[in-house]
Structure 1
Amino acid sequence: MIATSHFPINEQIVLVTGGARGLGLHIAHAFLREGARVAVNYLNSAQAAEALAAEAEGRVCAVQGDVRSAEAVSAMLQAARGHFGAPVTTVVNNALPSFSFNGDARAHADAIGWKDMAQQLEGVVGGALNTVQAALPGMREAGFGRVINIGTNLFQNPVVPYHDYTAAKAALLSLTRTLSQDLGPDNITVNMVSGGLLRTTDASAATPEAVFDFIAASTPLRRVTTPAEFADAVLFFASPWSRSVTGQNLVVDGGLVKN
C-alpha cells in the first residue's frame, strides 16, 4: 500500500490497552466520538468492556489479554483485525500494573524493593514493547502508524515517592524517543502524553481530597485536569494535525509543569 502522511481519525483502527475503565475508558470514548473503530483491551474488566462494545454498535472489539504476554498481545491484534477486517493502525499504551496513587501508602527509598520496580517495568515498558511489535506488521501494511504512550509529569515534578511507577514511565519516555527514530521511515510516529493527578480515575480514588485541592491551587487554571480533558489531548497525536510530530512528550496537567 502507498504510504499516506496521515489517516483521519475516523479511518483509524485503534487499540487502547487497559481501555475498559478509568483513563483508558475515557480515551476509548474520545476515539469513538471522533468516528474511529476501537479495540478495547482489558485484563479483568470483561463486563465493562462488553458493555462498551454493546453501546458502540460494532465499532468496538473487546479483547481480553495481559499486555505483559507477547503471545496474548499478538492474539489481541489478530482478533481486532478479524473483527474489523483491517489492521490496527493506532496503539495507545495505557495499561498499568496494579498501583494505588496514594503517596502516604507508597514505599520510600529505604523500603522499596527491586520486585516493585520490576513489576512496573514489566507492565509499562514490556507491555508497550509487546503492543508495538505486534502492531508493526499491520502498520507497515497500511503505510501508516501512530503509537501514543501514556506518561506522567512526575518526571519533572517528583513530589510523591512513586519510585517504581515514575522509573517505569521514564523508561517508557526513552523508548518513545528511540522508537520514533527507528520507526519514522515507516511513517509511524511515536509520542507520549503525560498527565498529573487526574480527578478522578480508579487509580486516583485513594488520593486524599487535600492533595487535589493543593494541586488545583498550584496550577494556572486553578483546577485538576479531568480524564476527559486528558483523553482529548491524546487525540492530537492520532490526528492529521500532528503528522510531522514524533518523539515528543506533551504534558497535560493544567500548566502545573512547564515542559
Structure 2
Amino acid sequence: MTGTIGRVALVTGASSGIGAATAHLLASRGMRVVVNYLRNSGAAHEVVAGIEAAGGQAMAVQADVREAAAIASMVDQVQATWSGIDVLVHNALIPYAIKSFQDMTWEELGGKLNDEMHAAFAVTKAVLPAMAEQRWGRIIYIGTGLSKRPRENMIALGTAKAALEQFARYLAQELGPQGITVNIVASGPVEDTRLADEFDDAHKQRQVAATPLGRLAHPADVAQAVAFYASEDNAFMTGTTAAVNGGMSMY
C-alpha cells in the first residue's frame, strides 16, 4: 500500500456502517480521510476521533450529496486543508421505499432513481478535475447484489443501484485513459447497517442459511474490498464489480 500514503479519500455517508468501517481502514493504511455525513455530527466526529487516536488523519465535513452546492462547499473545504481528492468512495445511502411495485408510486420509484443518480453524478463531477489533472484517481461506488438478484419489496433500491453500476462502467471506459479507475463493491446483506435493521431475525436467518460462508457480511468485510480498489495495488482493474456476499450469489 506504499503509494497510498498521504492520499486524500472522501467517503460519503461515513458516520456509521460501511462508510465508517471504510474510513477507519483507509486511514489505517495511511490515507487522509474526509468523513462526510448528512445529519449525525456526533457520530461523524466520533469516527474522526477514533482515526486520530489510532494515529491517522481525518476531518468531518457535513454535506447533502444530493445538492451540488453542498458538495462544492465540501470539496472547497478539503482543498483548503489537504488539496485535491484522490479517492472517492461513494457510499451515502439515499432514502427509498421498501414496498411492492403494486403499492409503489412513481414519486417513490422515480424519486429514488433521480436522487441516487444525481448524487453520484454531482459528487463525481466535483472530484474529477483534480484526479484528471494529476492523471490518477480511484472511484468506488457502493452497490448491492439486489441490482442483479431481485428480492421482495426492494425494487426501488435494486433498480437505482443497477443504474448506478452501469453508470460506473461507462465512467470506467471514459476515464481509464486518464489513469482513473472506477469500480463497484456490491454487498449482500450487511450486519450493523440501517437496512439490516429493517428485517426481523427470521428473515436474517434465512439469509444466513442461503450463504455458503455461514454468516452475513460485516461492514469491515465490505471495507476490505473498497480498500483494495482504492489502493495502488489495483493497477489494472476497472469497470468491475466485487461481490461481497459470502457466496449468497455468484456472478
Same fold per TM (> 0.5)?
Answer: yes
* Matched residue, 2:162: 170
Structure 2, unaligned runs of 5 or more: none
Kindly provide the CA deviation profile for residues 55-106 of structure 1, in whole angstroms up to 9, marking residues without a partner as x. Answer: 333711111111111111111111112122x210100111112247xxxxx3
* Matched residue, 2:41: 46
Shift of 1:192: 0.3
* Paired residue type of 1:60: A
> Within the alignment, does 1:67 sit opposite 2:27 as a pair?
no
* Paired residue type of 2:131: M
> Within the alignment, does 1:236 sit opposite 2:231 as a pair?
no
User: For 2:115 and 2:4, how far apart are their aligned partners in 1?
Assistant: 27
* Paired residue type of 1:121: L
Structure 1, unaligned runs of 5 or more: 1-5, 101-105
TM (normalized to structure 2)? 0.93
> Within the alignment, does 1:28 sit opposite 2:23 as a pair?
yes
Contact 1:156 1:257 (C-alpha < 8 Å) held by counterparts: no
* Matched residue, 1:103: none
Counterparts in 2 of 1:78-157, with a 5 A limit?
Answer: 78-84=76-82, 86-99=83-96, 106-157=98-149
User: For 2:109 and 2:147, how far apart are their aligned partners in 1?
Assistant: 16
Contact 2:51 2:58 (C-alpha < 8 Å) held by counterparts: yes
Percent of matched pairs sharing the same residue: 35
Shift of 1:219: 1.4
* Paired residue type of 1:123: D
User: For 2:111 and 2:3, how far apart are their aligned partners in 1?
Assistant: 36
Over 4 Å off, 4+ runs: none
Contact 2:100 2:152 (C-alpha < 8 Å) held by counterparts: no
User: For 2:34 and 2:245, how far apart are their aligned partners in 1?
Assistant: 27
Shift of 1:176: 0.4
Contact 2:116 2:164 (C-alpha < 8 Å) held by counterparts: yes
* Matched residue, 1:201: 193
Contact 1:53 1:60 (C-alpha < 8 Å) held by counterparts: yes
* Paired residue type of 1:17: T
Contact 2:96 2:156 (C-alpha < 8 Å) held by counterparts: no
Contact 2:5 2:31 (C-alpha < 8 Å) held by counterparts: yes
TM (normalized to structure 1)? 0.90
Shift of 1:24: 1.0
* Paired residue type of 1:91: L
Aligned-residue RMSD, C-alpha: 1.7
Shift of 1:7: 7.3
Contact 2:146 2:157 (C-alpha < 8 Å) held by counterparts: no
Of 122-131 and 46-55, more deviation after overlay is shown by 46-55
